[in-house]
């Protein structure tokens, strides 16, 4: 059984929000780890062998037994269970846990899809439509924040927890999209609670430690857009 004192390796990329989610979790739990940067455009053997089903980052590998754990939310829950002594991430009551998992799944489905939609848009009109879709996707989280937190500092109370990590890891991409296309997915006018939460979250040591450099995200996003454009051109 892993626990305090066990080291781990993280296969990730500096720009992957899902890897950022795991880095934040490890930081909160005080787990030391080795960060192994992967090239997702030219995947190495370790990544392919560790996550043969999805072939994606992040993957957590426990040094003592070499067994990989895949999918960021699965990893967060695993780390929360194994390093249970420090900074509990999921609420203690079953309903609170169910809520947190529901909204985390919502973030990875609706919010991430909407965010990628903005990135994939090829015209200003299309981008404006995709922004509307993204605003509609984050809107329910504004109410969820009040429901889950009772308007505390973070989603499930006064410290960063599971849902904060699930949404907070995407804030750096929101910022990169703002820089690239002048779009605001969370803002004080439309989603005041989320905007205040995002400000508080960004100020935490955990967010600062695990932050992706916006410049790197912008570069990576440009590469993705070039690949999508080439695929679209080849399909014509
Ligand atoms: N649901 C997965 C998403 C992971 C994911 O999409 N990773 C991306 C990087 S952000 C990746 O590895 N992409 C490579 C690929 O799709 O081939 C998780 O939460 O871990």
Minimum-distance ligand 1 atom for the alpha carbon of 13: 9
Using CA atoms of 219, 225, 227, 233 in order, give the dihedral in degrees to the nearest 10: -150
Quick check: 78 pLDDT over 70? yes
Q: Domains in the chain, start-ordered, CATH in brackets?
A: 8-82 (3.40.30.10), 94-218 (1.20.1050.10)
Question: Which protein residue has the closest C-alpha to ligand 1 atom 10?
Answer: 16
Rounded mean pLDDT of 82-92? 92
- Cα 57 to averaged position of ligand 1 atoms, centre (Å): 5
CA nearest 79: which of 8, 144, 131? Answer: 8
- The pLDDT of residue 64: 78
Minimum-distance ligand 1 atom for the alpha carbon of 73: 19
Rounded mean pLDDT of 144-164? 91
Question: Which protein residue has the closest C-alpha to ligand 1 atom 6?
Answer: 56
Quick check: 180 pLDDT over 70? yes
Backbone angles phi, psi at 62, to 5 degrees: -85, 125
Pocket of ligand 1 (CB under 6 A): 16, 18, 40, 55-58, 71-73, 108
Q: Determine the Cα–Cα distance for residues 174 and 15; give it in Å rounded to an integer.
A: 12
CA distances 73 to 20, 168, 220, Å, are: 11, 13, 23
- The pLDDT of residue 3: 52
Six-digit token pair at 208?
């600062």
pLDDT tens digits, 88-142:
999 999 999 999 999 999 999 999 999 999 999 999 999 999 999 999 999 999 9
Residue 108 CB neighbours (<10 A): 20
pLDDT tens digits, 185-224:
999 999 999 999 999 999 999 999 999 999 999 999 999 9
């Amino acid at each position: 059984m892993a626990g305090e004192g066990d080291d781990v390796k993280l296969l990730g990329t500096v720009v992957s929000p899902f890897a950022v989610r795991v880095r934040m979790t490890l930081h909160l739990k005080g787990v030391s780890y080795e960060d192994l940067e992967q090239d997702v455009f030219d995947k190495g053997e370790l990544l392919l062998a560790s996550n043969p089903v999805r072939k994606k980052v992040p993957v957590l590998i426990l040094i003592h037994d070499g067994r990989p754990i895949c999918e960021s939310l699965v990893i967060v829950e695993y780390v929360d269970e194994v390093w249970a002594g420090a900074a509990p991430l999921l609420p203690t009551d079953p309903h609170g846990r169910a809520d947190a998992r529901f909204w985390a799944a919502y973030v990875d489905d609706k919010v991430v899809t909407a965010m990628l939609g903005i990135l994939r848009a090829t015209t200003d009109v299309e981008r404006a439509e995709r922004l509307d879709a993204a605003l509609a996707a984050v809107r329910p989280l504004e109410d969820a924040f009040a429901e889950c937190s009772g308007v505390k500092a973070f989603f499930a109370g006064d410290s960063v927890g599971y849902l904060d990590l699930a949404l907070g890891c995407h804030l750096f991409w929101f910022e990169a999209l703002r820089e690239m296309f002048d779009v605001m997915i969370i803002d004080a006018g439309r989603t005041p609670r989320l905007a205040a939460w995002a400000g508080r979250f960004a100020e935490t040591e955990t967010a600062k430690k695990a932050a992706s450099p916006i410049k790197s995200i912008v570069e990576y996003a440009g590469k993705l857009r070039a690949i999508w454009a080439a695929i679209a051109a080849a399909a014509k």
